Amino acid sequence: MMLLLILLAATQPAAPPPPVASRAETARPVSAEALALAELLAGPDLVFGPGSQQQARAMMIDLYGRDPGMQEIEARSPGTAAAVVDAILPIVTRSAERRLPGLHQRLGALYQQRFTPGEIGRLRAFYGSPTGIRFIRGMQQRVNGDATVESAAARRDRVPDSSAVLEDLGRAGQATAMALSPADQEVLMRLRDGGLLQKVERMNPEAARTLVAWSQELSAEDQTEIMTASQEIVRKRLAGAEKQR
């Protein structure tokens, strides 16, 4: 869900910055283990599943509704923000699906930089285990995106700050860990006692920056399609509102 929200918030990107992990990508090939870990943590089912789409839609309607220009349009034609989000969500999702392997490469390169092969293997084993799956699913359900939406709303380019993304993910992770069963919490504690969770936490800010940078890299064609769809929705709804007067 968080990936979709970041992508939707970044539908008016400036020229994309250099990828955060680009140097890591070119330094050496990403190992199969590191790539598999990235695919596990940012898989299509997590990013594009129905629940993720519904949550991202609700948050983006909230974000669009805070824009003064959209507020004026909503006053004349209520529901326009929702209609715009519904129009651009398929475009953004299609773009993200096409570019997702590139994100996996960057995250895999980051993991390869920050962890030993043995540590990557342990992380894969954990996140692929019943406890790890429950943890990932629990985070997906609990992440609310409040800080991300607030950050995006405060910026002219509507691109959220990576620290806000990290704040939302951190809160969801803490709430999920507390809601796990004692047996699952014991598994987490073993990872923490071994120092691996602390290494993950130290890497997370860079991972968040990678996500936000990747989100801004919609193609020129995608950006044009998003702009055209948004303008057409607004034009039609305002024209309809005028006819009803």
Q: Give the per-residue pLDDT at 230.
A: 93
Residues 163 and 167: their CA atoms lie apart, in Å, by 6
Reduce the DSSP state of residue 233 to 3 states and report it.
helix
Closest CA to 155 of 6, 19, 17: 6
What is the C-alpha to C-alpha distance for residues 91 and 222, in angstroms, rounded to an integer?
Answer: 7
Mind listing the pLDDT tens digit for each residue in 150-180? 998 888 877 888 899 889 888 989 999 999 9
pLDDT classification of 45: cutoffs 50, 70, 90: confident
Give the H/E segment covering residue 21. Answer: none
What is residue 244's predicted lDDT score, i.e. its pLDDT? 80
Within 35-185, strands assigned E span none
Q: How far apart are CA 59 and CA 52, in angstroms?
A: 11
Q: How confident is the model at residue 25 (pLDDT cuts 50, 70, 90)?
A: very low
Note the pLDDT of residue 3.
56
Report yes or no: 4 and 92 within 8 Å, Cβ to Cβ.
Answer: yes
Mean pLDDT over 81-100 rounds to 92
Question: What's the pLDDT tens digit per position in 175-214?
Answer: 999 999 999 999 999 988 989 989 999 999 999 999 888 8
- Number of residues that make up the chain: 245
User: What does pTM read for this prediction?
Assistant: 0.83
What is the residue-averaged pLDDT of the chain?
85
Q: No. of H helices and E strands in the chain?
A: 14, 0
